[in-house]
Structure 1
Amino acid sequence: MSTPTSLPPFVPLDPVGIDDLLTDDELTVRASVRRLCAERIDPYVAEWFEQGALPDVRGLARELGSLGLLGMHLEGYGCAGMSATDYGLACLELEASDSGIRSLVSVQGSLAMFAIWRWGSEEQKTAWLPRMAAGDAIGCFGLTEPDHGSDPGDMRTRARRVAGAGSDWVLDGRKMWITNGTVADVAVVWAQTDEGIRGFVVPTDTPGFSAPEIKHKQSLRASVTSELVLDGVRLPDAAAFPDVRGLKGPLSCLNEARYGIVWGAMGAARSALETALEYATGRIQFGRPIAGFQLTQQKLVDMNVEYTKGLLLALHLGRRKDAGRLRPEQVSLGKLNNVREALEICRTARTVLGANGISLEYPVIRHMNNLESVLTYEGTVEMHTLVLGEAMTGQAAFR
């Protein structure tokens, strides 16, 4: 076996050479999204977070759409038809800027658009997907309720047939913690019916629909989060997804969004790690950079080891998804591990920065606060743990 005459240089933020596993096209996708984030998001996002607002959501959505990022892993109807790995790399770069921006893209593409693409009628697809892919229409996804998060099967939102009015439906209920709700043009709403849980495509200008924005958040502040109120919302039968019944519909969409989180969390982790490394090499204490102290180096190395493992896991799951071999339990493992480890990386990075770690001059505390939400949404730690526990033992620990 021949020995190479020279080795490639060591890259501090890619210590095992994961970039070698990416194709040229994948590297190009990553670079394009990173460039957009550097120009359009990074200079402003700390101010958005501090203000608790996301100005010009529609303008940003159109820019994201022009790059093909909305529903990018879907085919047809104006969608880019790119790979799951491409989509994952995009999520990583978006969340390296801010979890709220990645949430905007995830809810648009993996929840609202995917629901219509996978379960909608041809009429629903042609009416909404091209506009949503371009960013000309914004979507939201109404599943979680004020009293029903981890147990969506017990939702209270109800859709009933209108007596003597053909096949119209009337929806009543509330949904909570809905990203994009206040600015959405269309809502995918899941409701109990006499036929089981069904999904509905609800134009948000329908009488009886409102979406007041949720204020006073300390997490995902650069994101629009809303309550959905459905008070006698009347829809034609054509608004219902024609075939899917039960939780199969909404859970299939959640699995798509969770896959993006597996990648996205590592973007927040990378940003925190990169900030801590840069800070430690420039911060002088006791006459030398703190990067030269053993305890600081241990923190930096531990962060990088967990980031590297999480990124390898995301890439492996991406390859499985592209091959049609990704199971929901595997997505649960990825979401459980990567968000948990990303949050710990951000917390450790905060200690490297000391008091500066709580300042929005640096991204670390913003990522840390955001990940507290990401840890909970799209399935809590407890729920993903029990999904894996059931898969391992064959015993369901919840009903």
Structure 2
Amino acid sequence: MTFAPLSSDFYGYAENLLTDREKDAIMAIREWGEREVLPVIGGYWERAEFPAQVIAPLAELGTLAFAWDETKPFENSAVFRGFVALELARVDASVSTFVGVQNGLVAGTLALTGSAEQRAEWLPKIASAEVIGAFGLTEPLSGSDSARGLRTTARREGDSWVLNGSKRWIGNATFSDITIIWAKDEADGQVKGFIVPTSTPGYVATKIEGKISLRSVQNADITLTDVVVPESLRLQNANTFRDTAAVLRQTRAEVAWAAVGTAIGAYEAAVAYAKQREQFGKPIAAHQLIQEHLVNGLGNITASLGMVVRVSQMLDAGEQRDEHSALAKAYATSRMRETVAWARETLGGNGIVLEHHVARYFADAEALYSYEGTREMNTLIVGRAVTGEAAFV
């Protein structure tokens, strides 16, 4: 399969950094997304439905748990995994988010905090999509302060745990088979993780309605009322919030990659529109102000891509710290927000209708800007690193 560099990858990162096998995998994902997802996703977005038919192909393409020894289809780099997130978000951020939850948050949690037995049991099921997962950390009254502010509790009773509390904004949760629930142990006050089958009595997930962003993602409110979980489903290596943070450090960088992909999707749609839309007797692409919008967007994409590439290289080298992924997430999502706005402006009135795709990217960018750590919180994480002073409230 011949690798075709994206015109938006202006400095040729993918061409120069990916192996031939990684390039083949990227092209398979790109061709599938452009053929099967892009033509239909607007309707699903408008109806606030998730296209369930994409799940099996995503598993076949090897996107659902490709970082771990038990399930990775071939040796691959963190840079490659970032380009997978980019390619998926370039087509649709909701599909990219589904993969981010299944592959990053759920598989990542199982791989980093599960026992060897738990890894062996659950990771292959996640990779094949036999089991769909969700990640339950955020709560109605606890988001950025999850390290200290979790209100969901876990109480040990013999060989079981009893969970009580609530979660909010939990992606995939309306149709997941399991949800990773993070709860504070009543005995020692430490955050622990649990694999909770969604069929467990007392577990209720209710879809959040009325969203204007990532409408195809099935976010839910979850209530846990005396939910009994056996000790065998407690994540054996998740004993403090530091273990939770180890998962988020990795996934935060992939959200930055998805932000670059979202910006690219909007940018490419704007370039295509500008070439065919005529005003004053010529394509609007020939007008100076339109070219400025496009070049500004390309500059944002190129700068952000350089940052996320380096962060992923640091992950491969074991050098990535919280502040590194935090800066990438804060910067890339901010530049994405600007880029999708310039794309929308390039299309004029047509920029607010789904037909030309830009409206979807424009709206979806708002969710990526906020989840996996707001710009403000990631800024403070970096600020603490550069000053030595914690400015958290």
The TM-score by the shorter chain falls in which range? over 0.9
Residue 392 of structure 1 aligns to which amino acid in structure 2? V
In structure 1, distance between residues paired with 2:160 and 2:10: 59
Instruction: Provide the secondary structure at the position in 2 that maps to 1:169.
Output: strand
Q: Aligned residue for 1:53?
A: 49
Q: How many residues align?
A: 385
Residues 69-78 or 283-292, more deviating:
69-78
- Kindly indicate whether residue 36 of structure 2 is the aligned counterpart of residue 40 of structure 1: yes
Does 2:339 match 1:348? no
| 1:6 alignment partner in structure 2 | none
- The equivalences for 1:189-200 within 5 A come to 189-193=181-185, 194-195=187-188, 196-200=190-194
> In the alignment, is the contact (CA less than 8 A) between 2:8 and 2:301 conserved in 1?
no
1:155 maps to what in 2?
Answer: 150
Q: Distance in 2 between matches of 1:199 and 1:397?
A: 28
In structure 1, the partner of 2:82 is 88
Alignment of 1:319-334 (within 5 A): 319-334=313-328
Secondary structure in 2 aligned to 1:182? coil
CA offset at residue 259 of structure 1?
A: 1.3
Q: Give the 3 Å change call, closer, same or farther, for CA 20–69 of structure 1 in structure 2.
A: closer
Residue 26 of structure 1: which of 22, 35, 59 is its match? 22
Structure 1 segments of 4 or more deviating over 4 A? 77-81
Question: Take 1:17 and 1:167, find their aligned partners in 2: how far apart are those partners?
Answer: 55
Q: Deviations over 1:142-195 (max 9, x none)?
A: 100001000012111011122xxx221110110000001111111110101123
Equivalent pair of 1:78/1:134 in contact (CA under 8 Å): no
Q: Mark the runs of 5 or more structure 2 residues left unpaired by the alignment.
A: none
Match of 1:180 in 2: 172
User: Could you tell which deviates more after superposition, 376-385 or 28-37?
Assistant: 28-37
* Residues 384, 390 of structure 2: 8 Å contact kept: yes
Please tell me the root mean square deviation across aligned C-alpha atoms, in Å: 1.6
- Do the aligned partners of 1:275 and 1:362 also contact (CA within 8 Å) in 2? yes
* Structure 2 CA distance for aligned equivalents of residues 138 and 266 of structure 1: 26
Instruction: Give the Cα separation in 2 of the matches to 1:168 and 1:237.
Output: 5
Question: SS of the counterpart of 2:370?
Answer: coil
1:202-244 CA distance string (max 9 Å, x none)? 1111111111111111111111111111111011111212233
Shift of 1:21: 1.9
> What's the secondary structure of 1:217's corresponding residue?
coil
**TM-score between both structures, scaled by the size of structure 2:** 0.94
The SS at the match of 1:174 is strand
User: Are 2:381 and 1:387 aligned?
Assistant: yes
Q: How does 1:1-399 map onto structure 2 within 5 Å?
A: 12-23=7-18, 24-56=20-52, 59-77=53-71, 82-152=76-146, 153-162=148-157, 166-193=158-185, 194-195=187-188, 196-399=190-393
SS in 2 for 1:212: strand
Equivalent position amino acid for 1:27 in 2: K
Local SS of the residue matching 2:179: strand
Distance in 1, matches of 2:242 and 2:6, equals 43
Q: Which amino acid aligns with 2:191?
A: I
Aligned partner of 2:296: which letter?
A: D
CA distance in structure 2 between the aligned counterparts of 1:398 and 1:386, rounded to whole angstroms: 7
In the TM superposition, residue 12 of structure 1 has moved relative to its aligned partner by: 4.7
CA distance in 2, matches of 1:369, 1:345: 12
Aligned 8 A contact 1:120 1:242 in 2: yes
Q: Secondary structure at the match of 1:87?
A: helix
Change (3 A) 1:14 1:155: closer
* 1:221 counterpart letter in structure 2: R
Determine the C-alpha separation between the residues in 2 that align with 1:92 and 1:17.
14
Verify the 8 A CA contact 1:95 1:268 in the aligned structure 2.
yes
Cα distance in 2 for partners of 1:141, 1:222 equals 17
TM-score, scaled to structure 1: 0.93
- Describe the SS at the equivalent of 2:216: coil
Specify the code of the residue in structure 1 equivalent to 2:333: V
Is the 1:220–1:370 contact (alpha carbons within 8 Å) kept by the matching residues of 2? yes
1:132 and 1:86, CA in 2 relative to 1: closer, same or farther beyond 3 A? same
- Partner amino acid, structure 2, of 1:73: A
Largest Rg, 1 or 2: 1
Q: Give the aligned partner of residue 3 of structure 1.
A: none
| Maintained 8 Å contact 1:167/1:236 | yes
Shift of 1:11: 8.0
Secondary structure of the structure 2 residue equivalent to 1:361 = helix
Judge which range, 285-294 or 384-393, deviates more: 285-294
CA–CA separation in structure 2 for the residues paired with 1:11 and 1:235:
47
Cα distance in 2 for residues equivalent to 1:13 and 1:140 = 32
Structure 1, 288-297 or 88-97: larger mean CA deviation: 288-297
